[in-house]
Amino acid sequence: MTLLSRIISALVALLMLAILVLVAEGHRNDAGVVHVTAEINATPAEIWPWIETGQKARGWVSGLLKVSKDLSSPPLGKVGATELWETSDEFLHDGEIFSTQNLSRTCVEYAMPSRLRTHLSAPGELDGDETFVLVDIGGGRTRLELNEHLDYSGWFVRLAEPLITRAAQTKMVEDVGQLKSLVERCVNLSTSCR
């Protein structure tokens, strides 16, 4: 066996090992699950508008390009209300947008100002739920718990799920940090920060 064929065999073996690790990771109990908790110096009522509508979410959800209301759905604040979100995936190529994704966000549980659950769907790409829980911890402070569970379509995306979920967790932590900053600034300024 030549040196070149040994190198090629070793690289193929490493690739197969990496694929097996990803397959095994993709079958763990928390596959596709993202969880973020933050304490915010604001009441649940002051935070609620920032999570209820996509227009406010544009201020804190990175990559959210455009939000439109599905006019055939019930009004916002009602179960069944649907917004259409156009999001982007950005890579470190001078902020150039690599791809966009159209995502529908449909309200399935609405208990203002303590709990909002939405169903997220991008046909052929992902399907899942996102739940916001706002717990008043007293003194004008709120604990925000954000839970997301997504199932991905397509063999390659399902294979890459462990990497995608880790990246989604990092993004969600950053986004919730931005939400905390925006809400606290608006509360300190005594304005709704429209």
Residue ranges covered by each domain of the chain: 1-30, 32-189
Cα(46)–Cα(191) distance, integer angstroms: 10
pLDDT reading at 95 higher than 60 = no
The pLDDT of residue 154 is above 90? no
**Quick check: 139 and 110 in contact, CB under 8 A?**
no
Say if residue 117's pLDDT is above 60: yes
Structurally, what CATH architecture does the domain formed by 32-189 represent?
2-Layer Sandwich (3.30)
Beta bridge partners of 36: 146
Q: Per-residue pLDDT tens for 17-32? A: 666 665 656 566 777 8
Helix axes 161-189, 3-26, angle to 10 degrees: 50
Span 113-142, average pLDDT = 94
Task: Judge contact between 150 and 32, C-beta under 8 A.
Answer: yes
